[in-house]
A = this chain, B = another copy of it.
Amino acid sequence: MAAQTVATDSPKTVDLGPATALSCRECGHRVPLGPVFACEECFGPLEIAYDFSAYDAEELRKRIEAGPANIWRYAPLLPVPADVTTKPNINPGWTKLVQADNLAGELGVTGGLYVKDDSGNPTHSFKDRVVAQAVEAARAFGYTTLSCSSTGNLAGAVGAAAARAGFRSCVFIPHDLEQGKVVMAAIYGGELVGIEGNYDDVNRFCSELIGDPAGEGWGFVNVNLRPYYAEGSKTLAYEICEQLGWRLPDQLVVPIASGSQLTKIDKGLQELIKLGLVEDRPYKIFGAQAEGCSPVSTAYKAGHDVVRPQKPDTIAKSLAIGNPADGPYVLDIARRTGGAVEDVDDEQIVDAIKLLARTEGIFAETAGGVTVGVTRKLIESGLIDPSKSVVVLNTGDGLKTLDAVAGTGLTATIRPTLDAFREAGLAQ
């Protein structure tokens, strides 16, 4: 919880654009912008406070539309300096919002179904969005090393962003990860350290390192840089609304790991409403989990406000956080907006991956199978209204979770002759 001293000594020298302070989500206590993540008063999570008061809606909209085809078009709404585009970064975002008419037909959606496909990011997951923010915060605080613990997407995103932006990187993973994942994380040339232990051991070690002189000058993207990092998820909300012609969708289906992404999407939508960039009308946010790691869904269904930790056992490994830090906030948002939290089992996840691929040509990670599967389930149960618009998030790429669909294969094997072709019933 202890702050490192880099920035809090000299808060006024930190230029992070419209960001003015860190504010405690629980008690509202404010501290200057710095590499801290927990409130010194109540240990609640800190998040970024902004001053957007100077913005005129029409001018801001034009400025955004004239911006680059990446998240920096929204620089006026993010904790980054105004000249962010002049600095080397991985420049993620502005991924496709796919109008999924074929999938809509299968699911009976008549109000418009869209897939926000974040597999188009540089390392093919939404993590590029949050890491790109952490890079700018690390730069502002004078850090020279980017770090994280990871078992997958985050390791690649940090490695790639550090390489481009000129940081050293040191990523910690369990020492016995699959070779493919190790290659994907190692290719960017940073330090990739295998920790003898499981993912919990890796995390415990990282927490020790942050408080130790050995970790001085290190930005752990999802720990001491977390308030900045997390804001990257707001860009999903901005892009969805802009791509819909500056309109709010009626319903959004968002995966839940720590829950941070869902809360920041809600924050982004609220900001657009307050800024007058979209009309103020109701939207519903639905959270999606895998049954094998469904602490938030379980709490939602039981009517609880607290989330009881679970031991994950699911193929959706990128969502397998058994004790999600933002779980209670997710429950709040689902209930406040009239949404829900639902889960699907591994078989339903695989079915949904195949459904999305077969209808829209999008090969999603298991997390995308979770959101598509939950969407189908919520339509069947009547909680999602198919006559209104639905946006479903795909946050990753199927190429990274090939094992989940390893049973998919050849539909026929034939000799190279036309007779064999006809006999196999392939002539149509």
A residues apposed to B, CB below 8 Å: 69, 88, 90-91, 94, 96, 101-102, 117, 120, 122-124, 145, 156, 159-164, 166, 168, 170, 175, 179-180, 182-184, 186-189, 191-197, 201-202, 204-205, 208-209, 212, 214, 217, 353-354, 357-363, 397-400, 402, 405-406, 408-418, 421-422, 424, 426-428
* Interface residue SS majority, chain A: mixed
CB atoms of A410 and B186 under 8 A apart: yes
Of B88, B359, B412, B414, the contact of A102 (CB 8 Å cutoff): B88
Q: Give CA–CA (A408, B91) in the complex, Å.
A: 26
Q: Name 30 A/B residue pairs within 8 A (Cβ), A-sorted.
A: A88-B101, A90-B361, A102-B166, A124-B397, A145-B428, A156-B363, A160-B357, A163-B357, A163-B359, A163-B360, A163-B361, A164-B360, A180-B402, A183-B409, A184-B363, A186-B409, A186-B410, A187-B353, A188-B358, A189-B358, A192-B411, A195-B415, A195-B416, A196-B413, A196-B415, A197-B415, A205-B417, A212-B418, A214-B418, A214-B427
Which residues from B are CB-within-8-Å of A94? 69
Which residues from B are CB-within-8-Å of A426? 170, 191, 193, 214
A-B complex: 8 closest residue pairs judged by Cβ atoms: A189-B358, A160-B361, A164-B361, A205-B416, A194-B413, A214-B427, A163-B361, A194-B410
Q: Give CA–CA (A416, B162) in the complex, Å.
A: 24
Of B96, B189, B208, B398, the contact of A187 (CB 8 Å cutoff): B398
